[in-house]
Amino acid sequence: MPVEEFVAGWISGALGLVLGHPFDTVKVRLQTQTTYQGIVDCMVKIYRHESAYFLAPFDLIKVRLQNQTEPRAQLGGSSPQYRGPMHCAASIFQKEGPRGLFRGAWALTLRDTPTVGIYFVTYEVLCRQCTPERQNPSSATVLVAGGFAGITSWVAATPLDVIKSRMQMDGLKRRAYQGMLDCMVSSVQQEGLGVFFRGVTINSARAFPVNAVTFLSYEYLLRWWG
């Protein structure tokens, strides 16, 4: 059922993105900025000063918009650097060239390639362990397996996720890194090895509900289409 699986995957993925986007914004802020005291402080400041949600098709634009701390334009006040996804993309292209739009692409590729395998293997193993033979997994099993699959994959992905976010923000004001390896070395020298797991808590908090909902909706849509 390739068509049904595609549609089910698209719908469940969209639900996961909608649910996880606020957590993703907090995660990116914590990874790339040092003005917050923790997860709660970051959430409160974003809610108080911005109250905005950004939808962008590209990860780079998403990260740039999420790191934009200026409030929405007000009469007599300063305007934010980016007015939206299209303006953000155009500004990056104008100031940084075509390569600027692909900043952090290698880190993104290296982050996602192994973690996709970890993600689905974890889900399948947990479902099989908790489900009797020749039966479909229960809703509770799908929720738990999907949630823990998300946590496992994000714990593995967080080190490169930190580097990706920093590479994507590099060039906004000045070039701080010569490349991905230089970003890794500089980050460790300045902040220690713990920098690679900055944001892992918010990643995990986001991963469980997002992926639980994603897998549950996917499984139910497939069963509904028969």
- Report residue 177 as tokens: 């890194």
**Residues of the chain below pLDDT 50:** 1, 18, 47, 51, 53-57
Report pLDDT for 152.
Answer: 94
The residues, ordered by sequence, that sit 6+ positions from 74 with a Cβ below 8 Å of its Cβ are: none
91-125 burial by CB neighbour count: b if 16+ within 10 A, else e?
A: bbeeebeeebeebbbebbebbbeebeebbeebbee
Q: Model confidence over 122-149: pLDDT tens digits?
A: 998 999 998 888 888 888 999 999 999 9
**Selection from 160, 73, 156 nearest residue 116 by Cα:** 156
Average pLDDT, the chain: 76
CA–CA distances in Å: residue 181 to residues 32, 167, 193: 17, 10, 14
